[in-house]
Structure 1
Amino acid sequence: MRFRHRALAGLATLLLPLAGMVGLAGPAQAATSATATYTKASDWGTGFEGKWTVKNTGTTALTSWTVEWDFPSGTSVTSAWDTDVTSSGTHWTAKNKSWNGTLAPGASVSFGFNGTGSGSPANCKLNGGSCDGTSVPGDAAPSAPGTPTASAVTDTSVKLTWSAATDDKGIKNYDVLRDGAKVATVTTTSYTDTGLTAGTDYSYSVRARDTAGQTGPAGRAVAVRTTGGTTEPPTGDKVKLGYFTEWGVYGRNYHVKNLVTSGSASKITHINYAFGNVKDGKCVVDDTYAAYDKAYTADQSVSGTADTWDQPLRGNFNQLRQLKAKYPHIKVLYSFGGWTYSGGFGQAAQNPAAFAASCKAVVEDPRWADVFDGIDIDWEYPNACGLTCDTSGPAAFANLMRGLRSEFGSDYLVTAAITADGSDGGKIDAADYGGAARYVDWYNVMTYDYFGAWDRTGPTAPHSPLTSYNGIPNASFNSAAAIAKLKAKGVQGGKLLLGIGFYGRGWTGVTQSAPGGTATGPATGTYEAGIEDYKILKASCPATGTIAGTAYAHCGSNWWSYDTPATIGTKMAWAKSQGLGGAFFWEFSGDTSNGELVNAINSGLS
């Protein structure tokens, strides 16, 4: 993988003390305090304008605020700004917007409202605490409840049970989410959803609310298919995984919705989101704009709903959330590293436990904790050379994977993309892939990029040969050799996925149609010399032959090699005969608009 408003008149001020809550760095760190000042800014007889000012009077940051008060009967809020206001009878609650909830020590924020009636607020609370600025309840939102367990599934109903969430102030109730939308609020840890459609896929998750009114993140989702119906779920037990590139939303103009319009979403089982970066021995989000800030219009989004400016989560992560709600069978893994970002793994391997903890913190960020089902490590290459050379030693990779499995546990997928160098003393021999296999769910064996125009004069050779052939530049550079070598090291076939490239590699200045010809350099490509998407090559340089289970094409002075639906069919049959766990591909945007390569993988493995 290569890679906001009115001036207030000065009127008498009623000081209503408020207690604030903050995110605690650790159990020994005390919470801060806060106060709130209420001002009746103006009164025009039939109505009035009120203003609250919340001030952080403590020494640590305030991460959110919720102001509650009671109005006497006949007094109410009619409109508000810079806050979200709700009511239950005469009890009123105002919560921060996404952009004004954080207050540094000494900072303050104001919000206002218009009201009717003549009463004044009473019984003020902030985040459930008392209002004198001295009470210091913890402010942590509830933890995510456990993944629901589905039972008693019928044509029209399912019973869900889950382990309780935890919170310093106690749990008040739970929201049950079906396909991302709330369908019920319950006070127990079980719920039976009814009125469902037979033979239909649903996704359920649960979030908790504490007695202070704070709502925590949703837990991991469970996929449920009701009985009956005529539409069958995806067949077979093989993994069918594709990489979705973070940067593809720019020049390639490829978005999560393309997985739906191409038909690919119904034919895959897993998505690797590529790539997170590895810096200072830690996992970090790379392009935060593409990942969780880029806004999508209704026609661009999976759900058909436009993002709003104050939405807590946007970008690719939100689109993946919508995709999972629509296709509950899909699992998403966050992939870290890749050709460009593998240089950070050496430092990470020096402290695998700290690295794993940082990765889990990214994967379980409350803003998108329901999006990811695991982590994928793409280290190119442990104790060997890729873009940079690593000297961590043969045990570093296994140590890293052991640390990840220990941190993530059995509820998450832990996988790795690995070299396919089948040569003696090559990259597979440089690291303990056999020992590390016990900690991973599977390996994505990168059985492509064996040959290419980095050898400018050739000889021309297919970049993803399934087997060796007479005249191959290196007899150990092929899929069969790599798989055999990994099996010899004790890796079970079911933990190996065969890699497919949705692109070709090519040379120019070539006169010979068969492999083995000389060249003058890399052929022109849309984004990079010597490489081109299948969707382009299919029409611009159609295949003229096959060798070693893959296709090649000679058109004019250019020579390309790439996989077609036919050669993918051959490779999938071979993968099944070898007892492999399935296949993966790099990457979605290289396919045609109707997903013909994904369809070939699905058909070949089903």
Structure 2
Amino acid sequence: MRTARSATPARRGGLRRKISALIAVLVLPLTGLVALAAPAQAATATATYAKGADWGSGFDATWTVRNTGTTTISGWTLEWDFPAGTTVTSHWDAVVTRSGNHYTARNANWNGTLAPGQSVSFGFNGAGPGSPTGCLINGQSCDGTGQPGGPGAPGTLTTGTVTTTSVQLRWGAASGDVQNYDVLRNGRVVGTTSATSFTDTGLAPATSYTYTVLARDTAGRTGPASAPLTVRTTSDGGGEPPGDAVNLGYFAEWGVYDRGYHVKDIVDSGTAEDITHINYAFGNVQNGECTIGDSYAAYDRFYSAAESVSGQADTWDTGALRGNFNQLRQLKELYPHIKVVWSFGGWTWSGGFGQAMQDPQRFAQSCYDLVNDPRWAGVFDGIDLDWEYPNACGLSCDNSGPEVFGEMMRAFRDVFGDQLVTAAITADASSGGKIDAADYAAGAQYADHLAVMTYDFFGAWAATGPTAPHSPLGSYAGIPQQGFNSQAAIDKLIARGVPPEKLLLGIGFYGRGWTGVTQSAPGGTATGAAPGTYEAGIEDYKVLAERCPPTGTIAGTAYAHCGNQWWSYDTPATIAGKMDYATGRGLGGAFFWELSGDTADGDLVSAMSAGLG
């Protein structure tokens, strides 16, 4: 039931590069091309927009950035505005963020360097009828009009004092004839100064803003923009953490590739203020020990200043920590209430648990040594064991016996001491199902919490249906399998001796869907899995909310029938109901898979936080 995790790790090697994105403007289809203007000879970069197919409820489009200067560009930032009612719903080959109707796209880690004359394209799917306006590339007009003989770029932007409503900026002086500097916030000029510092005021608390600075000479000509710097104002409440209930989110290691989701997005979306724990997924279990999943993503990928939580670029110094681990370290410095736990296993990498549990002490010690490796000391607060499933079948089968889960948790508690020891466990409450296969109560006494995977009950692996919500809170007339709902799972675990305060209710930040469906209500027939961005039959909430909005609710969750597709997923409203159930049942909190499925403003996480109190 964990296919949301299953296919993606196997693909991680193929997600790093898309050579086809590096194409010249001349190979773009002429239909829908908007030439914002002929580039001026001295401009350093231009950007053009091309709208492709339009299917009524949405469209696809391409931006192409071209180096029209005489020196290499080492990074690019494109900004534009869409009118109200037009939005970006998904994107690829760039890191795209949104603030209201203002969009910012930054190069991916592999396509930011452009030699003179070279171009790069990235694409997106959108909804609505509007066209982009106010286009800026590296702080200058996208049409490349005239900056001949202008000053140089200002030096690196840094911050001084940051408060709830103000940001102090400093930068190095630009070369050439400089009369003053324009300071741009999210692509718009917010101040002009002759000094090399500026304080931007009137800001909102706990909000991220991206700044660039342009130098202007006495003739009014501007030079190239500084490298961008993103700054987040402090919280209005002094950074008070969420309440006592656990609100845990999984961060998928491979999300930094095609999904373009990074630790900084946790900050920019406001999610960092709403969550209490992050499970970093996944480490592997091989030859009886814990091992690294993807070392490049984990601790070697270089983060630029614009991509970084701290606003400072990584270094290549020997022994310097980079990658996700360094970003998580920076996140914890800003939000010390967040606990970060390294999760091992998952659907794809659970096969090694059975062998590892032949020597539980060696297994636990290997994991402790890796989690607490001096190279990333202080990043992790403990370990999460995601065995799918002890004494049962997932991608592979285990026959270690019902007592193995308790033995594992006891061994890890002995080794990890007062660090967090947690586990993700099955929600299969059917008669003779996976909850019945292992003694989860025996393991619960050693666990800080157990995350019950109350999602993926139904999906398009049953290609012809019947259509059914993948995460029903309770049962309903016509449910395809008894015991496949959240309440049944929680009730059975508590009845078997697991304390309710040790249990977390699971929420999927994605939907599961079928195609070839004519019936709006659940229970319809289908012809197969609906198309998805990364995998057939599954799609992120942020995409479905725009593309296929809910048409009904059943068993405490939402469903949507659009065209011949049928999807089920949770919304802020259904999450509110599920959080009411979790608090009313005395559970320890809730968790979700996974962070990148939420909207840019963190709508689902916010609903969980509000519901948990």
- Structure 1 length-normalised TM: 0.62
Aligned to 2:563: 556
Taking the aligned partners of 2:495 and 2:444, their CA distance within structure 1 comes to: 12
2:430–2:484 contact (8 Å) kept in structure 1: yes
Aligned to 2:442: 435
Aligned to 1:370: 378
Gaps of 5+ in 2: 7-204, 207-235
Partner residue of 1:574 out of 568, 574, 581: 581
Aligned to 1:451: 458
Partner residue of 2:292 out of 285, 293, 302: 285
* Superimposed CA distance per residue, residues 390-441 of structure 1 (whole angstroms, 9 cap, x where no aligned partner): 111111111111110000012x000000000011210001011011111101
Taking the aligned partners of 1:463 and 1:281, their CA distance within structure 2 comes to: 34
Q: Does 1:531 align with 2:570?
A: no
1:256–1:320 contact (8 Å) kept in structure 2: yes
Taking the aligned partners of 2:563 and 2:420, their CA distance within structure 1 comes to: 46
Taking the aligned partners of 2:275 and 2:242, their CA distance within structure 1 comes to: 10
Write the mapping of 1:391-430 to structure 2, written as runs, cut at 5 A. 391-410=399-418, 412-430=419-437
Q: CA deviation at 1:510?
A: 0.3
Aligned to 1:341: 349
* Superimposed CA distance per residue, residues 500-556 of structure 1 (whole angstroms, 9 cap, x where no aligned partner): 000000000000000000000000000000000000000110000000000000000
Taking the aligned partners of 1:397 and 1:297, their CA distance within structure 2 comes to: 42
Taking the aligned partners of 2:599 and 2:473, their CA distance within structure 1 comes to: 23
1:469–1:475 contact (8 Å) kept in structure 2: no
Q: CA deviation at 1:234?
A: 2.9
Q: CA deviation at 1:296?
A: 0.2
Taking the aligned partners of 2:513 and 2:531, their CA distance within structure 1 comes to: 8
Write the mapping of 1:250-261 to structure 2, written as runs, cut at 5 A. 250-261=257-268
* Superimposed CA distance per residue, residues 92-134 of structure 1 (whole angstroms, 9 cap, x where no aligned partner): xxxxxxxxxxxxxxxxxxxxxxxxxxxxxxxxxxxxxxxxxxx
Q: Does 1:332 align with 2:340?
A: yes
Aligned to 1:322: 330
Aligned to 1:352: 360
Q: CA deviation at 1:231?
A: 3.5
Q: Which runs of 4+ in 1 moved over 4 A?
A: none
**Secondary structure at the residue paired with 2:266?**
helix
Q: CA deviation at 1:354?
A: 0.3
Taking the aligned partners of 2:258 and 2:339, their CA distance within structure 1 comes to: 26
One-letter identity of the residue aligned with 1:362: L
Distance 1:230 1:270, change over 3 A: closer
Taking the aligned partners of 2:430 and 2:530, their CA distance within structure 1 comes to: 28
One-letter identity of the residue aligned with 2:599: T
Identity rate, percent? 70
Name which of structure 1's ranges 387-396 and 327-336 shifts more when overlaid on structure 2: 387-396
Taking the aligned partners of 2:371 and 2:483, their CA distance within structure 1 comes to: 37
One-letter identity of the residue aligned with 1:570: G
2:242–2:273 contact (8 Å) kept in structure 1: no
**Secondary structure at the residue paired with 1:538?**
helix
Aligned to 1:162: none
Taking the aligned partners of 1:244 and 1:347, their CA distance within structure 2 comes to: 27
Q: How many residues align?
A: 383
**Secondary structure at the residue paired with 1:583?**
strand
**Secondary structure at the residue paired with 2:364?**
helix
Q: CA deviation at 1:468?
A: 0.2
Partner residue of 1:502 out of 501, 505, 509: 509
Aligned to 2:591: 584
* Superimposed CA distance per residue, residues 467-489 of structure 1 (whole angstroms, 9 cap, x where no aligned partner): 00001001210000000000011
One-letter identity of the residue aligned with 1:319: Q
Taking the aligned partners of 1:233 and 1:493, their CA distance within structure 2 comes to: 26
Write the mapping of 1:229-240 to structure 2, written as runs, cut at 5 A. 231=238, 233-240=240-247
**Secondary structure at the residue paired with 1:341?**
coil
Q: CA deviation at 1:232?
A: 6.3
**Secondary structure at the residue paired with 2:367?**
helix
**Secondary structure at the residue paired with 1:252?**
coil
Aligned to 2:202: none
Aligned to 1:295: 302
One-letter identity of the residue aligned with 2:463: R
Taking the aligned partners of 2:364 and 2:569, their CA distance within structure 1 comes to: 36
Q: CA deviation at 1:564?
A: 0.2
Distance 1:280 1:502, change over 3 A: same
**Secondary structure at the residue paired with 1:350?**
coil
* Superimposed CA distance per residue, residues 443-482 of structure 1 (whole angstroms, 9 cap, x where no aligned partner): 0000000000000000000000000000100121000000
Taking the aligned partners of 1:439 and 1:481, their CA distance within structure 2 comes to: 24
Taking the aligned partners of 2:450 and 2:605, their CA distance within structure 1 comes to: 19
* Superimposed CA distance per residue, residues 28-61 of structure 1 (whole angstroms, 9 cap, x where no aligned partner): xxxxxxxxxxxxxxxxxxxxxxxxxxxxxxxxxx
**Secondary structure at the residue paired with 1:343?**
coil
Aligned to 1:212: none
**Secondary structure at the residue paired with 1:529?**
coil
Taking the aligned partners of 2:610 and 2:241, their CA distance within structure 1 comes to: 10
Q: CA deviation at 1:236?
A: 2.1
Partner residue of 1:478 out of 478, 485, 500: 485
One-letter identity of the residue aligned with 2:291: V
Partner residue of 1:465 out of 472, 476, 488: 472
One-letter identity of the residue aligned with 1:573: D
Aligned to 1:600: 607
One-letter identity of the residue aligned with 2:366: S
Gaps of 5+ in 1: 4-199, 202-228
One-letter identity of the residue aligned with 1:421: D
**Secondary structure at the residue paired with 2:314?**
coil
Q: CA deviation at 1:269?
A: 0.3
**Secondary structure at the residue paired with 1:340?**
coil
Distance 1:325 1:230, change over 3 A: closer
Taking the aligned partners of 2:404 and 2:244, their CA distance within structure 1 comes to: 32
1:334–1:374 contact (8 Å) kept in structure 2: yes
Taking the aligned partners of 1:482 and 1:240, their CA distance within structure 2 comes to: 19
Taking the aligned partners of 2:474 and 2:460, their CA distance within structure 1 comes to: 20
Taking the aligned partners of 1:326 and 1:482, their CA distance within structure 2 comes to: 36
Taking the aligned partners of 1:496 and 1:415, their CA distance within structure 2 comes to: 10
Aligned to 2:195: none
**Secondary structure at the residue paired with 2:524?**
coil
Partner residue of 2:494 out of 487, 490, 493: 487
Write the mapping of 1:125-140 to structure 2, written as runs, cut at 5 A. none
**Secondary structure at the residue paired with 2:558?**
strand
- Structure 2 length-normalised TM: 0.62
* Superimposed CA distance per residue, residues 182-218 of structure 1 (whole angstroms, 9 cap, x where no aligned partner): xxxxxxxxxxxxxxxxxx99xxxxxxxxxxxxxxxxx
